[in-house]
Structure 1
Amino acid sequence: MKHLKLVLAIAMITLVASCKKGNTASSVAKSETQKDANGFSYQTVANDPTGLRLYTLDNGLKVYLSKNTDEPKIQTYIAVRAGSNYDPKQSTGLAHYLEHMVFKGTDKIGTVNWETEKKYLDTISNLYEKHRAEKNPDNKLAIYKEIDRVSLAASNFSVANEYDKMSSSLGATGTNAYTWFEQTVYTNKIPANELDKFLKLESERFGQVVLRLFHTELEAVFEEFNRGQDSDGRKRYAAMLKGLFPNHPYGQQTTIGTAEHLKNPSMVDIHNYFDKYYVPNNMAVVLVGDLDFDATISKVNESFGKLEKKEVKHPELPKEEMITSVVENEVFGPTSESISIAYRTGGVKTEDEKLVTLADMILANGNAGLMDLNLNQKQLVQYAGSSPTFLNDYGYHVLSGAPKEGQSLDELKELLLEQIEKLKKGEFEDWMIDAVINDLKKSQLKQYESSTAVADAYVNAFIHDENWEDKVKFLDDLKKITKQELVDFANSFYKDNYVVTYKRKGVDENIVKVQNPGITPVNLNRGSNSEFIEAFNSIQSEALKPVYVDYASAIKKTKTDSGITVSYIENETNDLFDMNIIFDMGSDNDKKLDLAVGYLEYLGTEKYSNEQLKKEFYKLGVEYYVNTGNEKTYIGLSGLKENLPKGLELLEHLLDNAVADQEAYEKYVQSIAKGRQNTKTNKGSILRRGLLNYAKYGENSSFRNIISVSELNKINPEELVALAKDLKNYKQRMFYYGKDIDNAVSALNASHKVNAQLKDYPEAMTFEEKETGGNVYFVDFDMVQSEMMFLAKGEPFKAENMAASTLFNTYFGGGLSSIVFQEIRESKSLAYSAWSSYSTAREKDDANYVMAYIGTQANKMPEAVDAMMGLMNDMPESEAQFNAAKESTLKKIAAQRINKSSIFWNYERLQKLGISEDNREAMYNAIKDMTLADLREFFNKNIKGEDYNVMVIGNKKDVDLKALNKLGKVQEMDIDHLFNYEKSEDVKM
C-alpha cells in the first residue's frame, strides 16, 4: 500500500490526470488565450489532461473551471491568498478565527434587525479593545462579564447558522473551510442545478464580514486549540517548523495562534484583515464538475464580478539564514515515541521542488524505495517514510520514523540518515527514476478521477501563484533529470543542515490550562429568518431527478475455466484496473488467517527474494495486497491494464511458492507487539476501538479475539505459510474493474489455478451484542480535553427505518446546522465537536444503535453531558429547520451517483443487509411524504429514554467522576484488558 506521503506529494505536484481521458501530460504543453461565446477571455494549456479554463474577471478574481460529468455535482472552492503568515504579531490565530466568523453571516444574512444588532456589536467590539488593553485580572474579568451580557442581548437580533441552513438546503456536502500559512479556503460540493443559488449566497457572504456570536465561537476555537495540545503529532510538527524557520512565520506563528492572543482578541484587527485580503483580486473561485463553461462564467461574473477590486500588498516576510549545523529539539507527550529529520528546501517554482520530489520518491514510494526495502521490509524499524512540502517562500523535506522495541530514537535517526547516504552514493537502480515517474502518473490517473482532487490542484496553483502550463509539464521536467544530476544534488543538499525533532514519552510541561469562562447561552432564534433567507428560499431551481442503479444489469458476470464467478464493471475513464479475489471468511473463521496474510508481506520465494519481488511489481506499475478482516479476505491486484497478466503471474507465484523465514517471523512478531504497545498510547484507538467495542460486546468480541504475543512466539511460521497457500483452495469469487474483461479472464485462466472442488469455509465464531445501560467505562489518559461517547442498543435492523433515520440524522445530530451542533456548540459553547446519530447495522441480523459524542474541556463536561442528555430525551422541534433538513436530504439523494467500482461495493454492503435493489428509491419516496410529526414519532420510539453505556477518556485529575456516577456505574478500565493484551507483552523471542 502507498504511504500517505505519496498522496500529499502528488497534491503538491498538482499535475492531474483527466477525469474522462487516460492521456498524460505532454512536453508540448503551451498556454493560449481564447474567447468564449460571450466574449470572456480564458487561458487553456495544450495537452492539459484536466481541461482547465482559467478566467480573470475585470475585478481581478481568478476563476478556475473544469468539466466532469461523472455526477451532477460541482466541487466548489473559494480561496483567499492569505493565511496565518499575515497574522499581526499581536493577533496570531486571527486568519483562522476569521475563517470561523465568515460563516456567521453579513448585514443581510443572520440578522432580523441589523440596525439594532449593529449597535450591540459595536459595543462588543469596543469592550474587547478595553479588555485587551486592561492588565488587571479582576478588571479584565469584569469587562468579559459585560461582553457576555451584551452578547446575550445582541443574540436577540441574530439567527444562528443561517449560512449553514442555506448551504444545507442546496443539498451541499463537505461544507467547511481550512486555514494554513498562505491560504484560507472555503469548501462546498453542490448539486449542479443549485449553482445560481450558491453563487448568490457566496457572493453575499464574501462581500463583508459581521462578527456576530463572537465570544461563543471563540470558545470553540479554544477547544480546537486544546485538541492541538492533545496531539503529539502536531506538537512535533510545530517544533520541527520552529527549528527550520527561526525567523519566518512558518515557524514563528502557528495557524491556531497562542493562548494569550486567543484570550485577548481584537474585532478591529479581524475587520482590518478581512478588508485588506478578502478582495476579488486576491481570491479565486474554483468550480469543477457538471457545468457548462460559457453559462457558468457568465453567472460567476454576474455575482462575484460586483465585488470591488482593491490594491493588495502582501507583507515582506523575513528571510532565513542558511542552516549550517544540526538543530535538535524535543517534545513530550503520552503517545509512542517517534522522530523527524527535516531539511529546509526552496519553495514552489524552484529547482528544489523538482529535485526533492524525485529524491523523495527514490527514498520512499511505498514499494521499492530505499526506506521501503532497507528499513520497512527488513523490519529494522517500526515504520519509516518521507514526505516533501513546498510553500511560497520555502519548503521542507521530512524523514520520519517510529522505533521498534528496544531501539533508541538516535539509532533510528542513524538508520534514516543512512538512506540519505545511499541516495548520495547513487545506490539505486538506473530504472528507478522512470519507474517513479510512471508511478506518479499512475497514481494521478487514479486519484484525480474525482472532481475534488482536480479542484484541490487548482487551489494549490492559485495560492502559490503558479503558471498552470508549468504544472502540466512538471513530470516531463522530472524525466529530464538524470541519475547523476540527482546524485550531485543530493550530495550538495543533504548535509548536516537538518532539524531533528524527538517525540519522547513524558509529561508536557508547556500545556496551557484554559478556564471555563462560564458563558451565558446565547439565543439561537431557531424559528426566525432574515429577509435574505426568505428571498433565497423563494428562488426555484430546476429539479434534479435521482438516478438509481439496477444492480442486476450494472454488474455483469462471467466465469473462469475453473468455474469461478467473475463480477465485472468496465472502467470507462482510464487504463487502470482493480482485481479482487474475495473469500467470504476472515479472522472470525480462523484468527491465524490475518496473521498469515500479513506475514506474506515479508516473504520471498526460491526464485525471488522479498526485495526482488517488490522491485518486479514496481517495474510493472502494479501493486498487490492480501488483507483479512473479521468476515472476509481479499487478494487484490491493481495498476496498469497492459501489465495485468504479468502482475497476476508474479502474485500467483508468490502465493504458491512463498518460503517461510524464521528471522522475518521473529521480527514480525516483535512489530506486532510494538504496534500493540503504541496502540495503547493512542487516545483515538482507546475510545473508538477499545472502549466502543467493549461497550458493545463486553468481554467477548471480534476485537478482543486476538492471539497473545506469548502464543505468537510459539507458532511455527511454516504453519502460517501453509495457511496462506491454502487460501486458494477455498470457495471464492472475483470482482474486476477495468477494460477488456476477456484479457483479464484469460490472465486468470493462465495463472490462477485452483482445484476443481473448493473447500467450504470453517465455521465462524459469533459474538453477541450485549444490552446497554448503566455502565460508564472510563480510561485515565494524560490529555487536556475529555472525550466521551454514548451508546444505546436499538431494535434489530429494519430496511423501512432507513429513510426516517437518514432524515433524523440530518435534522438532529449531523452537520453545522443540526440541533445538537447548534445547542451544544453555537449556543452554549460547551464543545468543539458534538454529534448524535442513529446508526444502521452492518448486518441484517444485527441491532441498530443510538450514538452521541462530545469532545470538550474536562471542566465543561458535566454541563455538556446535561445538555446532550436533555436533547436526547426531548428533541427540540422547528418546522422550518425540519423542512430544510428534509429538502437537503432529498437533494443529496437526487444528486448522488453510484458509479464505477462503487456499484459493486455498494451492492456488497446492501447484500449484507438482505437488500438486493437500490433502496434509495424507497427512501426518497418515503422522505418526500414525511412530516415533523413522523420524525417526532421516530424519535420517541427509537431515541427518547434509551439506556446508554458511556465511554469516557480524560485526565483523572480533571474529570468529575462524581458527575459521571449519575450516568451509571463508573468502571475504570485497564487498557491491556480493554484490548485483551497480555499485561506485560514480551516482544523478545
Structure 2
Amino acid sequence: MTQIKTLFVLAILAICFSCKTDQNSEVAAATTAHTDANGFSYEITENDPTGLRLYTLENGLKVYLSKNTDEPKIQTYIAVRAGSNYDPKQSTGLAHYLEHMVFKGTDKIGTLDWEKEKVYLDSISNLYEAHRAETNLDKKEELYRKIDEVSLEASNYSVANEYDKMISSLGATGTNAHTWFEETVYKNKIPANELDKWLTVESERFSMLVLRLFHTELEAVFEEFNRTQDSDFRKGYYAMLKGLFPNHPYGQQTTIGNAEHLKNPSLVDIHNYFNTYYVPNNMAMVLVGDLDFDATIAKVNKAFGAFENKEVTHPVLPKEDALTSPVTKEVFGPTAENVSIAFRANGIGSEDQKFVTLADMILANGNAGLIDLNLNQKQVVQNASCSPTFLNDYGYHQFTGTPKEGQSLNDVKALLLEQIEKLKKGEFDDWMIDAVVNDLKLSQTKQYENSTALASAYYNAFIHHEDWASKVKFLNDLKKVTKQELVDFANKFYQNNYVVTYKRQGEDSNIVKVQNPGITPVHLNRDKSSKFLTAFNSMESEDLKPKFIDYKTAIKTTETTNGIGVSYIENELNDLFDLNIIFDMGGDNDKKLKLAANYMDYLGTAKYSNEELKKEFYKLGVSYYVFAGDDKTYVGLNGLKENLPKGLELLEHLWNNAVPDQDAYKKYVESIIKERQDSKGQKGSILWNGLMSYGKYGEKSRLRNIYKTDELNAIDPKELVDIVKDMKNYNQRVFYYGKDVDAAVAALNSSHTIPEDLKEYPEALVYEEQETGGNVYFVDFDMVQSEMLFLAKGEPFKAENIAASTLFNTYFGSGLSSIVFQEIRESKSLAYSAFSSYQMADEKENANYVMAYMGTQANKMPQAVSAMMDLMTNMPEAEKQFNAAKEATLKKIAAQRITKSNIFWNYESLKKRGIENDNREEMYNTIKDMTIEDLRNFFNSNIKGENYNVMVIGNKKDIDFKALKELGKVQEMDVDYLFNYEKTEKLKM
C-alpha cells in the first residue's frame, strides 16, 4: 500500500469508526472504570495498544491522555464540537472567523488597559451591526471608514500576538487551528516541562472571547477566501458536496463562508456562538506525549475544572432524500481536467462505514486493488483512486480520475464505474479481505508510534461521539466480513445514485472580486506587554536539558559476506522493518536513471506478471520501491519483519529478471508528457518549481534538462531495464532499521548477489547557481490572488552561520509572532500568508539564499511590495521580541530528539554539508550567548542590501506592472520555456 493512500485511510479510520460494542467479538475491547491516586476517575479499554486514559471532569470536559516517551514533548489538542454546520444561515463562515479570533486574547491577554480598550471595542461592535443593516452603499462605506478609524484608536491599548508570543516562548511547534463541518480544533506541540505554563495561558484563552483587531483579521480571512477561489480542487469538492447534500449544511454551507456574509459580519453573532458552544461539556483536551497521568489530570482539573458547563443543543439538521439518479456538476479553472464520482453513505456508526471501508481498500490500496491493477498499473488512465469520508450525519465514497491525452472525462468515468462493477461481481481474490485488514493493522501500528497521529485519532473520536473500545476492535470486526457479504453490500450501495463532477479547463465565471478596503495600519505595540504576559514570563518551568547524538555510536555497522557495508539501528517498538540499498549516484550522474527507476514499477518477469508481483508483495505485507533522486538511488523494502526474507527474494527476482515491455513503455511516455501538460495548470508548480529554478539557475538548470518527446520515444526500454540491473555492479551500501539485524544480513547474503569488484560512479553534472538581482520574472495565470517570491543569492555555506540564521528566522520571518507576519498581516492586512527566511544550503558547495514570500490580492501588491522590501532593508528591533525568539529557539532545540531511523537520515543530511557531528550542540551554545546586536550584524551582513530576483505569478489583467518595474526588469515568462517543454507535446508513438 502506498504511504499516501495508507495515511488517508487511517485518517478516515480515526474519524469514522464507531460501531456498537459486539459482546461476542473474538477480541474483547471492554471499557473498565478506574480511579487514580488523586481520586480522579478514568476509563481504559482492554487490549488498547495506545494506552488511553479517558477522564471526564465534573464540568463535563473530556480529557484524553496517552504516554509516549520518544521525545520530551506533548502533542496538545483542544477540540470543540463547533463547526460550520452550526453557523447561522445569515452568518456563514462564522465558526471559522471565531477560530481566528480566539488567538487574539482576552480581557487579560493582549491588552494594555482593558477598561479603555473595551469602550472602543463596544463601539466597533455597534458600528458593525449598523454596517450590516445598512443598504445604502455610500453609507456602508462611511461606516467602514469609521470602523477603521475607531480600530486604529483601539489598537493603542492592544498588544498584537501576545498569545503567540507566550506559546512561542515555550518552544512550541505546530501552533495552529482548523475548522470543519462539526469541529474547531486548536493545536500545539509543547515541551513536556512547559505543561503548567501552557495550561495557564490556554485556560485564560478559553475563558472569554475578545474581538480585538477584528477588521484586520477579517481581511486575512478574505485572503483565505481568495485562496479558496484559486483552488480548483476546492471548487470541485464544493460542487460535489452540493450535489450529494442539496439540503444539509455539508453541501449548502462552506466552512470559509459566503462572500456577502464575510463582508457583513456580526460581532454579536460571533459572541453568541462562542458562549453557546465553547463550554467544557462540549470540549475535549487531548494530551499525548511524555507525561505522568496522575499529575497531568490534576493540573488539567486545576486549570479547567472551574469552567461552568451549560446545556448544549446542536441544531437539528435537514435529512436528505435518497438519490435515485445521477446528479451532474461542472466546475471550471486552469488546472488539469478530472472527474469525480461520489456515492452518498450513512454516517458514523452505520454499517455503511464497515463495508465502504473494505470496498474502498479492495478497489484501491496502492498496490493490488482493482483500480491500482486495472487502471494505474496498466496505465489505462493518467491516474485514478478512491477514498471514503464519514461524518456525523452522512458520509460518501469518492472516486477520482484524470484522463490520458486524448481521453475524455466520460471515458475515465466509465472505467471507474467498470471497476465498481467488478467489485459487485466479486471479481477479486478471496484472500484480499484478510490482506486488506492486515495492511490496515500494519499501517495503524506505524500511526500509533506517532504522538501527533494518535492525538488526532483521539480528538476525532470526541468530535464524532465515538466509543474508543469500538475503534480498538474495529479492524477485527472487519475481518469477519465475508466476501459474499461485501458483494451483496456493493450491489445495493453502488447503483445509479451518484454525483459526477466534471472539472473542466476554462474560465470560472463565478469568481468574486474583493475590493481593497484600504485599511489604516494598526499599532502593534510589540515592545509592550499586558500584566498577564509579565506574570506569565515570571513563571518558572523545570529545566529541560538538550540531548545530542553521537552518530558514530548510535548508528551501528556490520557488513555482508560480499563486503557491503550495513548501517543499522534497532527498532525497539515493533516488528516492522525498513531496508534500503543505497547508491550514491542519481539523475545527475546518469540522465536516464530516474526514467529507468520509475519504469520498473510497470514491469514483471517471465515467472510473474506485473499484476502477480503486486499481489505477491501485498500478500506478504511488504512494499518495495526503486527511486532515483538527483544524487542518490534507493532500492527499498519495508513491512513485516517476519516476511523480509521472502520479500527480498521477490525483489531480487524482479531486479535480476525484469522483462522490458514496449507497450508499458509507450504508455509510460504518454503519461510523462501528459503529466508535463497538467503541471502547467498548477500555479504552485509554476512558482516553486519553474520560477524558483529559473531564478536560481537561469536556462541551464536541472529542471530544464529533460528528454523531449522524440528523445523519449527513441529510447529502447531494454536500455532502461539494463540500467537498473547494472546498478548492482556499482558501489553500494545498506541501511537497515528493524529488529534482528543478523537475520536481515542473512537475507542479503542469500538473495543480494553482486560482483566482487564494483564500479565507481559516473561523474555528476554540476548546475551553476547564477547571481541574482534586477530581474522580475512574471507568469500570467488565471487566479484571484497574486503570489510573489523574492530570492537573493548569498555567500557559500558556512556551518558557523547556522545558529544565527536559525535565530533570525524565528525572530524575523517565520511563525505567527515573527516580525514579517506581524507587519504584513497583523498590522497592515496585506496578505494571508507572508514569511521570510535565510536558507542555509543543503550541500557545502552551494550558496545560501535569502527568501521572502507573499500571497496577496493583486490590488494590494504595491503596498505589500513596499512593506516587504522595507522590512528586508530595515529590520525592526524589539528587545523583548528578540529575547522571546531566543528563548523559543533554545527550548525547541532542548526538546528535540532525533530517534529511530531519523538518526541515520539526519546524519546523511549533515554529511552533505560537511558536518560529521551533531551540530545542534554548537548551535545551542552559540544562541545562548547571542544578543540583538549579534542579530543586527547578521542582518546587515547577510540580508540588508541583497539583490533580489523577484518571481511573480498572477492575472495579467490585475497586476500593477508599474510597481513591479521598480524592482527590476520585468520579463514575462512562457511556462513551456521555464520547464523546457514543447509547445504542443504531440504523442507520436
- What's the TM-score once normalised by structure 1's chain length? 0.99
| Partner deviation per Cα, 1:46-92 (whole Å, 9 max, x = no partner) | 00000000000000000000000000000000000010000000000
1:109 matched to 2:109? The reply is yes
Q: Which residue of 2 aligns with 1:877?
A: 877
Contact 1:288 1:455 in 2 (8 A): yes
Report how far residue 446 of structure 1 moved.
1.5
Aligned AA (1:948) = Y
For residues 750-899 of structure 1, what are the structure 2 equivalents within 5 Å?
750-899=750-899
Report how far residue 983 of structure 1 moved.
2.0
Distance 2:351 2:162 in 1: 47
SS of 1:659's partner is coil
Q: Which residue of 1 aligns with 2:22?
A: none
Distance 2:3 2:684 in 1: 20
Aligned AA (1:876) = P
SS of 1:448's partner is helix
Contact 2:165 2:884 in 1 (8 A): yes
Report how far residue 277 of structure 1 moved.
0.1
Q: Which residue of 2 aligns with 1:569?
A: 569
1:648 matched to 2:648? The reply is yes
Distance 2:192 2:134 in 1: 51
Unaligned runs of 5+ in 2: 18-24
Distance 2:627 2:698 in 1: 26
Distance 2:492 2:35 in 1: 47
Contact 2:546 2:895 in 1 (8 A): yes
Q: Which residue of 2 aligns with 1:207?
A: 207
- Could you list the runs of 4 or more consecutive aligned residues of structure 1 that deviate by over 6 angstroms after TM superposition? none
Contact 1:178 1:184 in 2 (8 A): yes
1:475 matched to 2:475? The reply is yes
Q: Which residue of 2 aligns with 1:270?
A: 270
Aligned AA (2:914) = G
Q: Which residue of 2 aligns with 1:550?
A: 550
Contact 2:343 2:499 in 1 (8 A): yes
1:90 matched to 2:87? The reply is no
SS of 1:14's partner is helix
Aligned-pair identity (%): 75
SS of 2:500's partner is strand
Distance 1:676 1:170 in 2: 45
Contact 1:597 1:724 in 2 (8 A): yes
Q: Which residue of 2 aligns with 1:626?
A: 626
Contact 1:16 1:444 in 2 (8 A): no
Contact 1:5 1:386 in 2 (8 A): no
| Partner deviation per Cα, 1:269-306 (whole Å, 9 max, x = no partner) | 00000000000000000000000000000000000111
Aligned AA (2:819) = I
Q: Which residue of 1 aligns with 2:374?
A: 374
| Partner deviation per Cα, 1:138-162 (whole Å, 9 max, x = no partner) | 1100000000000000000000000
Contact 2:438 2:621 in 1 (8 A): yes
Distance 1:39 1:202 in 2: 24
| Partner deviation per Cα, 1:5-35 (whole Å, 9 max, x = no partner) | 4312212213999xxxxxxx97111100000
| Partner deviation per Cα, 1:926-954 (whole Å, 9 max, x = no partner) | 00000000000000000001000000000
Q: Which residue of 2 aligns with 1:21?
A: none
Contact 2:16 2:353 in 1 (8 A): no
Aligned AA (1:269) = D
For residues 719-758 of structure 1, what are the structure 2 equivalents within 5 Å?
719-758=719-758
Distance 1:971 1:27 in 2: 66
Distance 2:11 2:775 in 1: 45
Contact 2:334 2:507 in 1 (8 A): yes
Q: Which residue of 1 aligns with 2:20?
A: none
Distance 1:982 1:842 in 2: 31
Report how far residue 97 of structure 1 moved.
0.5
For residues 246-285 of structure 1, what are the structure 2 equivalents within 5 Å?
246-285=246-285
Distance 2:936 2:14 in 1: 48
Aligned AA (1:864) = A
Aligned AA (1:274) = F
Q: Which residue of 1 aligns with 2:977?
A: 977
Q: Which residue of 2 aligns with 1:717?
A: 717
Contact 2:794 2:850 in 1 (8 A): yes
Which stretch shifts more, 718-727 or 382-391?
718-727
Contact 1:15 1:474 in 2 (8 A): no
Report how far residue 3 of structure 1 moved.
5.9
Q: Which residue of 1 aligns with 2:222?
A: 222
Q: Which residue of 2 aligns with 1:134?
A: 134
Contact 2:16 2:391 in 1 (8 A): no
Q: Which residue of 1 aligns with 2:393?
A: 393
1:301 matched to 2:314? The reply is no
Distance 2:26 2:776 in 1: 61
Q: Which residue of 1 aligns with 2:326?
A: 326
SS of 1:429's partner is coil
SS of 1:984's partner is coil
Which stretch shifts more, 234-243 or 716-725?
716-725
Report how far residue 533 of structure 1 moved.
0.3
Q: Which residue of 2 aligns with 1:465?
A: 465
Aligned AA (1:150) = V
Q: Which residue of 2 aligns with 1:932?
A: 932
SS of 1:70's partner is coil
Contact 2:55 2:63 in 1 (8 A): yes
Distance 1:897 1:506 in 2: 49
For residues 958-977 of structure 1, what are the structure 2 equivalents within 5 Å?
958-977=958-977
For residues 487-498 of structure 1, what are the structure 2 equivalents within 5 Å?
487-498=487-498
| Partner deviation per Cα, 1:633-652 (whole Å, 9 max, x = no partner) | 11110000000000000000
Contact 2:15 2:390 in 1 (8 A): no
Contact 2:110 2:530 in 1 (8 A): yes
Contact 1:16 1:457 in 2 (8 A): no
Distance 1:386 1:459 in 2: 25
- Relative to structure 1, the CA distance from residue 269 to residue 282 in structure 2 (aligned partners, 3 Å threshold; closer, same or farther) is same
Aligned AA (2:527) = G
Distance 1:402 1:799 in 2: 45
Q: CA RMSD in A?
A: 1.0
Aligned AA (1:972) = E
| Partner deviation per Cα, 1:726-761 (whole Å, 9 max, x = no partner) | 111111111000000000000000000000001111
Report how far residue 986 of structure 1 moved.
1.5
Distance 1:552 1:418 in 2: 55
Aligned AA (1:484) = Q
Distance 1:462 1:341 in 2: 30
| Partner deviation per Cα, 1:184-213 (whole Å, 9 max, x = no partner) | 000000000000000010010001110000
For residues 528-607 of structure 1, what are the structure 2 equivalents within 5 Å?
528-607=528-607
SS of 1:103's partner is coil
Distance 2:950 2:345 in 1: 48
Contact 1:12 1:460 in 2 (8 A): no
SS of 2:755's partner is coil
| Partner deviation per Cα, 1:446-486 (whole Å, 9 max, x = no partner) | 12211001100001100000111111011011011000000
Distance 1:879 1:720 in 2: 59
SS of 1:541's partner is coil
Contact 1:6 1:387 in 2 (8 A): no
Report how far residue 985 of structure 1 moved.
1.3
SS of 1:637's partner is strand
Contact 1:341 1:499 in 2 (8 A): yes
Distance 2:448 2:663 in 1: 41
Q: Which residue of 2 aligns with 1:161?
A: 161
Distance 1:132 1:41 in 2: 49
SS of 2:486's partner is helix
Contact 1:16 1:454 in 2 (8 A): no
SS of 2:810's partner is helix
Contact 1:13 1:474 in 2 (8 A): no
Distance 1:473 1:12 in 2: 16
For residues 500-515 of structure 1, what are the structure 2 equivalents within 5 Å?
500-515=500-515
